[in-house]
Amino acid sequence: MSDSRAAALEYAHDNNSQFLDELKDFLTIACISTDPEHQADVD
C-alpha cells in the first residue's frame, strides 16, 4: 500500500466519529430529509 493511501485510511479511521457526527447533522436538514412532514420542502 502506498504511503499516501495508508495516510488517508489512517486519517479516515482516526476521524470516523467526527465524520459520522457531521453526516448525521447534514441529514437532519429538511431538504434532504425523508420525513414526510418535509415533503413540501423537497418539491
Assigned C-alpha cell, 36: 414526510
Query: pLDDT-based confidence at 35, cuts 50/70/90?
Result: confident
Q: pTM for the whole thing?
A: 0.59
Range of the structural domain that residue 37 is part of: 3-42
Query: pLDDT-based confidence at 27, cuts 50/70/90?
Result: confident
Q: Buried b / exposed e across 28-39, counting CB within 10 Å, b at 16+?
A: eeeeeeeeeeee
Q: Which residues contact 42 (CB under 8 A, 6 or more apart)?
A: 31, 32, 33
Into how many domains does the chain fold? 1
